[in-house]
A and B are shown apart, each in its own frame.
Chain A
Amino acid sequence: MHIPKPLDPAAALKSALPDALADVKEFRGETTLIVNREQITAVAQYVRDTPGLVYNFLSDISAVDYYPESSRPERFGVSYHIYSMLYNRRLRLKVFVPEDDTTVSTVTAVWPAANWLEREIFDMMGITFTGHPDMRRLLMPADWDGHPHRRDYPLGYETIQFSFNIEEILKHKPLAKE
């Protein structure tokens, strides 16, 4: 069957959705397209459906918290790592999410694999995905407070046991013997 020639994703996106693409970055052989947050669903649909791009496999969605630095435009970044089975190449779409409006529209309609990946990001980072069929906590218990993977959430560790604080620590362990 006839396979169309692969297109350059940045150029194709710029010609089809010109105001969606904010920046293009290259690092260690990986291409990142920085996309405007409002148009991520349109961009996702475009890169999946256009012959010549066909990014039909979603590998991963990850979120980063840049707090407390201000080296990036916004506090959170969400990266979509997609792969084209036909052309055997990878791409990253990145959106920046501000702290006061932590919503992004969902891409579950484009890649259903995003279902649980977005739920995990909601649970861990607190970024809500509008239009998601089932936006609930996934890994933490349903009544948990806070979003653990944020940088201002404490690691929550138990202090190291010395002889001066052993009584305090043992108060947490009523059933531990000698």
Chain B
Amino acid sequence: MGVTQKLGNLGVVTTTLDTAINWARNGAMWPLLFGLACCAIEYMSTQASSYDLSRFGMELNRATPRQADLIIVSGRVTRKMAPVVRQLYDQMASPKWVISMGDCASCGGVYNNYAVVQGVDEIIPVDVYVAGCPPRPEQLLHGILTLQEKIYGDTIKDWA
């Protein structure tokens, strides 16, 4: 029995509830402290003072996946690392989102060979793809804003 049925399908109440919940989720999304390769350095630049990520609520990077909401896969995922990424994704609690940062995480990038997984979407579902090798901090911020727009479009009827 969903929340909406219990409330008797009161359209007005659920719309306001949607906005409130999505605003809360967007405002303080904690990314996982997870960087694989070169894109991680651009991620660190985005986190630092010139292109500040704290203004999006992402001040804290949680080292443990249990407390993180967002995993930004930044860098090439190799076949040896793929089970680890999958395990981290599984350990995260819902609601969780995935940003695939950079060309290597989105599609295998420059490397089309035996060692690199051709896109992290072979193992985990991705919400936003950010292109670039490595993407500039502005590009990553655009990706994060796109994710925020996507979350604003979420409605409680989908998951409650």
Q: Which residues of B contact A154 (CB under 8 A)?
A: 114
Count A-B contacts at CB 8 Å: 37
A5 close to chain B: CB less than 8 A? no
Chain B: interface size category = 10 to 19
Q: How far is the CA of A36 from the CA of B114 in the complex (A)?
A: 34
Q: Which residues of A contact B123 (CB under 8 A)?
A: 175
Q: Which residues of A contact B118 (CB under 8 A)?
A: 158, 172
Q: Mark B75-115, 1 if CB is under 8 A from A, else 0.
A: 00001100000000000000000000000000010001111
Q: Mark A2-37, 1 if CB is under 8 A from B, else 0.
A: 000000000000000000000000000000000000
B119 close to chain A: CB less than 8 A? yes
A155 close to chain B: CB less than 8 A? yes
Is A140 a contact partner of B121 (Cβ separation < 8 A)?
no
A114–chain B nearest beta-carbon distance, Å: 24
Q: Give chain A's interface secondary structure class.
A: loop
Choose among A148, A175, A177 the residue that contacts B115 (Cβ–Cβ < 8 A).
A148
B147 close to chain A: CB less than 8 A? no
A123–chain B nearest beta-carbon distance, Å: 12
B12–chain A nearest beta-carbon distance, Å: 31
A157 close to chain B: CB less than 8 A? yes
A173 close to chain B: CB less than 8 A? yes
Is A158 a contact partner of B115 (Cβ separation < 8 A)?
no
A141 close to chain B: CB less than 8 A? yes
Tally of contact residues, A, Cβ under 8 A:
14
A176 close to chain B: CB less than 8 A? yes
B126 close to chain A: CB less than 8 A? yes
User: Among A153, A156, A175, A177, which residue has the most Cβ atoms of chain B within 10 A?
Assistant: A175
Q: Which residues of A contact B125 (CB under 8 A)?
A: 175-177
B45–chain A nearest beta-carbon distance, Å: 28
A158-178 residues at the B interface, CB under 8 angstroms: 158, 172-173, 175-177
Q: How far is the CA of A172 from the CA of B125 in the complex (A)?
A: 13
B122 close to chain A: CB less than 8 A? yes
B106-160 residues at the A interface, CB under 8 angstroms: 108, 112-115, 118-119, 121-126
Is A157 a contact partner of B112 (Cβ separation < 8 A)?
yes
21 intermolecular pairs with C-beta atoms under 8 Å apart: A140-B115, A141-B79, A148-B114, A148-B115, A154-B114, A155-B113, A155-B114, A157-B112, A158-B108, A158-B112, A158-B118, A172-B118, A172-B122, A173-B119, A173-B121, A175-B121, A175-B123, A175-B125, A176-B126, A177-B125, A177-B126
